[in-house]
Amino acid sequence: MTRAERRILKKSETEPVIALRDSISHYYPEFNNRLNATRDPRDVRYITYTPATMLGTGLLKNICGIESMQQMTERFNQEECIKNISNLFSNNNEELPHYVTLNEYLKNVDIAELRKVRKDIVTKLLRGRSFENGRYKKKWLVIVDATWLQVYGKEQDGNCLVQKHVTENGEEHCVWYRVVLEAKIVLGDGLIISLDTEFIENNSIDAVQQKEMSAEEIKQDCETKAFKRLARRLKKEYPRLPICLLGDSLYASNPVFELCRENDWDFIIRYKKGSIPTLQKEYESLPEREAGRDGKSEFANELDYKGKLINMLRYKESRNVDGKIVETTFQWLTSFTITSSNAEKMAQVGRKRWMIENEGFNVQKNLRYDLEHGNSKNSTALKNHYLLTQIADIFRQLYVYRYLRRLGQKRTEKNISSDLLASFARQLIREDIFNPKAGDNKVTC
C-alpha cells in the first residue's frame, strides 16, 4: 500500500461517511441513477423526494444500524445529517422523508423493483472479478435456508402462515408468523450477500380455507415449495451463473437433486441418518470405503439413488470440550466426484452452509438490523423493508471490507453503526460527500 493510499484510509477512519460513499462509488457507481430508475408509484404532481432519496434513506437506516422507523426519523433529524444525506443523493432537500411517508411509499412499490436493484448490484460485483477466490471448482457457492421473521399472537392478514397448537385440555392456540427463504452467495474474503429472496406465505384463499381446518388438515406454503419457485427464478435471472448449491438435510431429496441437474448446478447437501434410508444402507453395506488423506474423512462415489448416481462424504471432527474429546460426524451428498485429495476441502466447503446461520441471519437479527422488527404492518411494505435490509447489508459489508479491514480496525457491529451515525451528524463539505469520480484514483482491491 502506498503512502497516498494510507492517507486516504486514515481520512476515511476519521470520517466513515466518506469511506462509505467511496465504497459505493467504487463497487457500484450507478447507485443514485439506479435507485432513481425504479418505477415510482406516486402521482408526479405531489412528489417531493426522488426515489433515490426515499429508498436511500431506508438503506441508510439499515447501514447505520437504526432498529426502527421512528428512530430513523429521530436520528436523522439534524441539520448537518440532512445536508450530508441529501448530498449523498445529489439533491438539496431541507428535510428527509418522515417514517410515515417512507412507509406509505414502500406500501406501493412493487417488490420486483428492489429485486432488480439487488440483481444489478450482485451482477456488477460478480463481473468485477474482485471476489473470485470465493469459488469452489469454478462454481459460486449459493447457500439456501429459511428463517422466521415476525411472530404474532393474532391474525394479521391472509399472507401469514399459522400454526395451531392443541393443549392437553383440548383448547386450540394459534400462532401467526412470517417466514422467508434466502439464497446467499459466498464471495471471497468471508463476504456472504443476498442473491435472491422468496417469501413463504399463503394467499387470501388459503387463509379463508384454513379457518375451518384442524391442525392436521392445514396444508400451507412451505420451504420446499418456496425453493422450487426460488430455483426457477434464479435460473431465469442468472442463466449462466455456475452454481454449487449448499443446503441442510431438508434439501436431501430427489426433487432437489433433479432440479440441480436440470439447471446444471452442482450441490453439496447435508445428510442426516434417516433422510434417505436406502442410500445410508447402501453406503454402510460397502465392504470398503475410500479414505481421505487427512484421516478424518471417508467416502463412496456412484451410489445409486432412483436410477441416478450420487456421492456420499463422511467427515469426523474431534474437539476438546472441558477436557473431554468429543467426536462429531458430518455427512453430505454431492454431485462432485470425491477423491482422497479433495475430501477434506469438500467437507470444509460443505460446512460453509453454517455461514447463512451465523454471518447471515444471526448477525442480521441480533447485531446489525434487528431483522425480526417489522417496520410496518403492511405486507408489501414489510417485504420491501426486508429487501432494503439485504441491499443495505451488501454495502455495509463492502464498506467494512474495503476500509476497516485494510486499516486493521476491529470494531463491533454496534461501534460501526454509531461511528457512521456520528459522521453523518458532522459538518462535511459537499465535495467530500458527493464526488462521482472519487473512486477512480483511490484505493483498489
Do 311 and 404 belong to one domain? no
The DSSP bridge partners found for residue 329 are 316
Whether residues 278 and 302 fall in one domain: yes
Write out the three cell numbers for 291. Answer: 479414505
Residues 275 and 351 in one domain: yes
The range of the structural domain enclosing residue 25 comes to 3-112+377-441
pLDDT (0 to 100) of residue 355: 76
Is there a domain that residue 50 lies in? yes
Q: Cβ neighbours of residue 39 under 8 Å, at least 6 residues apart?
A: 109, 110, 113
Task: Out of 363, 385, 419, pick the residue that ends a domain.
Answer: 363
Q: How far apart are CA 363 and CA 356, in angstroms?
A: 10
**How far apart, in whole angstroms, are the C-alpha atoms of residue 38 and residue 271?**
42
Q: Does some domain include residue 231?
A: yes
- Indicate the residue type of 279: L
Answer whether residue 266 is part of any domain: yes
246/255 Cα distance (integer angstroms): 15
- Residue 212 C-alpha cell reads as 375451518
pLDDT tens per residue, range 352-409: 888 777 777 777 777 777 788 888 989 999 999 999 999 999 999 999 998 888 777 7
Any idea what the CATH number is for the domain that residue 296 is in? 3.90.350.10
> For the chain, how big is the Rg over CA atoms in Å?
24
pLDDT at position 325, please?
85
Are 162 and 298 in the same domain? Answer: yes
Q: Is residue 413 part of a domain?
A: yes
Asked if 265 and 188 sit in the same domain, the reply is: yes
In a domain, 424, yes or no: yes
Distance from C-alpha of 24 to C-alpha of 32, rounded to nearest angstrom: 10
Report the 3 state secondary structure along the chain: CCHHHHHHHHHHHHCHHHHHHHHHHHHCCCHHHHHHCCCCCCCHHHCCCCHHHHHHHHHHHHHCCCCCHHHHHHHHCCHHHHHHHHHHCCCCCCCCCCHHHHHHHHHHCCHHHHHHHHHHHHHHHHHHCCCHHHCECCEEEEEEEEEEEEEECCCCCCCCEEEEEECCCCCEEEEEEEEEEEEEEECCCCCEEEEEEEEECCCHHHHHHHCCCCCCCCCCCCHHHHHHHHHHHHHHHCCCCCEEEEECHHHCCHHHHHHHHHHCCEEEEEECCCCCHHHHHHHHHCCCCEECCCCCEEEEEEEEECCEEEEEEEEEEEEEECCEEEEEEEEEEECCCCCCCCHHHHHHHHHHHHHHHHHHHHHHHHHHCCCCCCCCCCHHHHHHHHHHHHHHHHHHHHHHHHHHCCCCCCCCHHHHHHHHHHHHCCCCCHHHHCCCCHHHHCCCC
Kindly state whether residues 326 and 391 are assigned to the same domain: no
Asked whether residue 260 falls in the same domain as residue 310, the answer is yes
Residue 156, Cβ density class (10 Å: 0-12 exposed, 13-18 middle, ≥19 buried):
middle
Cα–Cα distance between 28 and 122 in angstroms, integer?
10
The number of residues making up the chain comes to 445
**Is residue 124 included in any domain, yes or no?**
no
Assess whether 155 and 13 both reside in one domain.
Answer: no
Residues 160 and 305 both lie in one domain:
yes
Based on the fold, state whether residues 356 and 434 are members of the same structural domain.
no
30 to 37, 178, 360, 399, 436: CA distances (angstroms): 10, 33, 26, 16, 10
Final residue of a structural domain among 340, 363, 386? 363
Q: Which of 312, 332, 363 is the last residue of a domain?
A: 363
Q: Is 304 inside a domain boundary?
A: yes
State the total domains in the chain. Answer: 2
Residues 50 and 14 in one domain: yes
Which amino acid is located at 187 in the chain? Answer: L
What distance lies between CA 350 and its chain's CA centroid? 18
- Which pTM was predicted? 0.89
Nearest to 397 by CA among 426, 374, 363, 424: 363
Instruction: Record the cell numbers describing residue 248, joined without a space.
Output: 441442510
Is the CB of residue 390 less than 8 Å from the CB of residue 118?
yes
How far is 396 from 400, CA to CA, in rounded Å?
Answer: 6
Residue 240 sits in the same domain as residue 355: yes
Distance between CA atoms of residues 31 and 33, nearest Å: 6
For the chain, which residues score pLDDT lower than 50? 204-210, 215-217, 436-445
Is residue 119, in this structure, part of any structural domain at all? no
